[in-house]
Structure 1
């Protein structure tokens, strides 16, 4: 069996306490996570569970207090600025909010060309690559001469996907990439992510609070609660045969379109979790 593309072992992250001399607050307590090349690992949990912190630790945006993060066999949890710059070619991110993740004063062409020019492509080569990226995410070529405010939320997230793909990464951290979008646009963006994966072989860490969304795109799902992974398995195992009460809580609390099914789900939630701690 081949080694995972990315391995997280015993990961601990602590944040400073509030107030003078307050002790540090540990938000991740020995997390293990493994992402296979070309596959999607869904990470789901409620607000404050630590799911976004895992993604930020992988990206080097928060310091690691303990444990290890290994990418392609190389430790990266203590990577310095130079190694991080090199890693940016292999590991990219799609942020939650398409309205704030793009520079409003830069044209889409300049936004997408920026990482390409940093890799020493010529202006002509970068412009050709930008046109191809826009085509990959089903946006017209003339989008490169327009500003972010001229696009809808779904279109902006397509642009964010194109930017993440610009230099051919092997792993993309998707941090709640569809939570700011309506349901119809969500499905379109999720389908696009899956199509991109089929054509490029990129792996995803897909972070979300929505177990239904995670199931739609993931091969493997891990459920995190209060900084600890409480359940992991295939998407089918976790969403159809959950073993942990917290996973069942997430499933029963997720809304469904059918009103009758929603009433059944609400009643099941009340029977199982009424009066219990979140």
Structure 2
């Protein structure tokens, strides 16, 4: 694995919030005598308070599996996930409920993660009353503040998810993730289903939230340009391994691993001639 030292690594203050050490994930094979398929091959990452670590790779690289393992949703076969120094790799259900106060998630498809039969008010109220045991009055005040935080009108509480656009639904998902005041949010491809202008507004919103709350993000994406815009550090994942880490500028200006260079060449550019040059260079790398 090629690792590039960064100023963020050297100067980021305080504790390591989330540490993944030697993590391996394998899924059972299908059929008789099929061996398990290992998806992660000993992954190490660290996330500090108020930091965004961008995890970038193509489909099938293992990046979403890493996010799921951190959340306790993937079968870890070796290694550890530690939160504030406490091993949570195989945390039981009761402990996971407690961890929901500290670690939240925003998924790619907001419509799929929001109960279509519930109003936005009920969706936001559930974690407040179930986990934080708020009274209904306190919960309503908190919901109003959450909607204001993500720039949605107070009247949204009476509406269903289908009545909102994709970008608005993602704002609702972000509001729900913020409801418990977490210290870490796993953002799993949160803008990949949105158009470019909506992507930009959601990225701006996430940046503003981080600046005002100090929340840390593990930001998962296939798009290096998106990751570079938001992340303090970038980790490139390829076939279940972290192959390169560094700041966004380091990764894009001086990529060390061939796969990172392929990701850069896959990023769209406005000029047709430059885009054609990138396709040619990427094909040459593939042949090499």
- 2:99 counterpart residue number: 87
Q: 1:48 aligns with which of 44, 48, 60?
A: 60
Question: In 1, are the aligned partners of 2:228 and 2:234 still within 8 Å (CA)?
Answer: yes
Helix, strand or coil for the counterpart of 1:99? Answer: helix
- Is 1:11 matched with 2:61? no
- 2:185 counterpart residue number: 172
Task: Return the alpha-carbon distance in structure 1 between the equivalents of residues 188 and 57 of structure 2.
Answer: 12
- 2:248 counterpart residue number: 235
- 2:175 counterpart residue number: 162
Helix, strand or coil for the counterpart of 1:22? Answer: coil
Question: In 1, are the aligned partners of 2:102 and 2:183 still within 8 Å (CA)?
Answer: yes
Task: Return the alpha-carbon distance in structure 2 between the equivalents of residues 149 and 258 of structure 1.
Answer: 37
Helix, strand or coil for the counterpart of 1:121? Answer: coil
- Offset at residue 238 of structure 1 (A): 1.0
Which region of structure 1 is more displaced relative to structure 2, 256-265 or 56-65?
Answer: 256-265
Task: Return the alpha-carbon distance in structure 1 between the equivalents of residues 222 and 190 of structure 2.
Answer: 11
- Offset at residue 260 of structure 1 (A): 3.3
Question: In 1, are the aligned partners of 2:76 and 2:89 still within 8 Å (CA)?
Answer: yes
Aligned pairs for 1:40-79 within 5 A: 40-79=52-91
Task: Return the alpha-carbon distance in structure 2 between the equivalents of residues 239 and 3 of structure 1.
Answer: 28
Superposed CA offset, 1:178-216 (max 9, x none): 011011101110110000000110000000111111101
Which runs of at least 4 in structure 1 moved beyond 6 Å after TM superposition? none
- Is 1:205 matched with 2:229? no
Superposed CA offset, 1:145-179 (max 9, x none): 10111100000000000000001000000000001
Question: In 1, are the aligned partners of 2:53 and 2:219 still within 8 Å (CA)?
Answer: yes
Residue segments in structure 1 that go unaligned for 5+ positions in a row: none
- Offset at residue 274 of structure 1 (A): 4.5
Which region of structure 1 is more displaced relative to structure 2, 128-137 or 232-241?
Answer: 232-241
Structure-2-length-normalised TM-score: 0.93
- 2:235 counterpart residue number: 222
Question: In 1, are the aligned partners of 2:20 and 2:81 still within 8 Å (CA)?
Answer: yes
Task: Return the alpha-carbon distance in structure 1 between the equivalents of residues 76 and 183 of structure 2.
Answer: 22
Question: In 1, are the aligned partners of 2:54 and 2:234 still within 8 Å (CA)?
Answer: yes
Query: What is the count of residue pairs matched by the alignment?
Result: 275
- 2:6 counterpart residue number: none
Helix, strand or coil for the counterpart of 2:171? Answer: helix
Helix, strand or coil for the counterpart of 1:65? Answer: strand
- Offset at residue 20 of structure 1 (A): 1.5
Task: Return the alpha-carbon distance in structure 2 between the equivalents of residues 173 and 111 of structure 1.
Answer: 19
Residue segments in structure 2 that go unaligned for 5+ positions in a row: 1-12
- Is 1:182 matched with 2:195? yes
